[in-house]
Amino acid sequence: MTFKILAVGDVVGKVGLAHLQETLHKQKQALGADLCIVNGENASEIKGICRADAETLLFAGADIITLGNHAYSAPDTGAFLDARPDVIIRPANFPATNPGYGYTIANANGTRVLCINLLGTVNLAPLDNPFLTLERILDAQKGKYDIAVLDMHAEATSEKYAIARAFDGKISVIFGTHTHVPTADLQILPGGTGYITDLGMTGPEGGIIGAKTEPVLRMLRDHMPARFSVADGRVRARAALFCVDTDTGRTTSAKQLVF
The SS3 of residue 80 is helix
187-188 and 194-196 strand pairing: antiparallel
Give the span between the Cα atoms of 214 and 150, in whole angstroms. 34
* Coil, strand or helix at 248: coil
Which is it for strands 173-177 and 194-196: parallel, antiparallel or unpaired?
Answer: parallel
Active-site residue identified among 19, 25, 70, 180:
70
Is 153 annotated in the active site?
A: no
Residues 203/30, Cβ–Cβ less than 8 Å: no
Task: Quote the CA–CA distance of 110 and 171 in Å, as a whole number.
Answer: 18
Rounded Cα gap, residues 171 and 149, in angstroms: 6
Alpha-helical segments (H) within 32-99: 51-60, 77-83
Bridging pattern class, strands 64-66 and 10-11: unpaired
Give the residue among 233, 229, 234, 235 at the shortest CA–CA distance from 212.
229
Q: Please, which residues have CB within 8 angstroms of residue 9's CB and are 6 or more apart in sequence? A: 39, 177, 180, 182, 198, 199, 200, 201, 202, 237, 238, 239
**Active-site amino acid positions:** 70
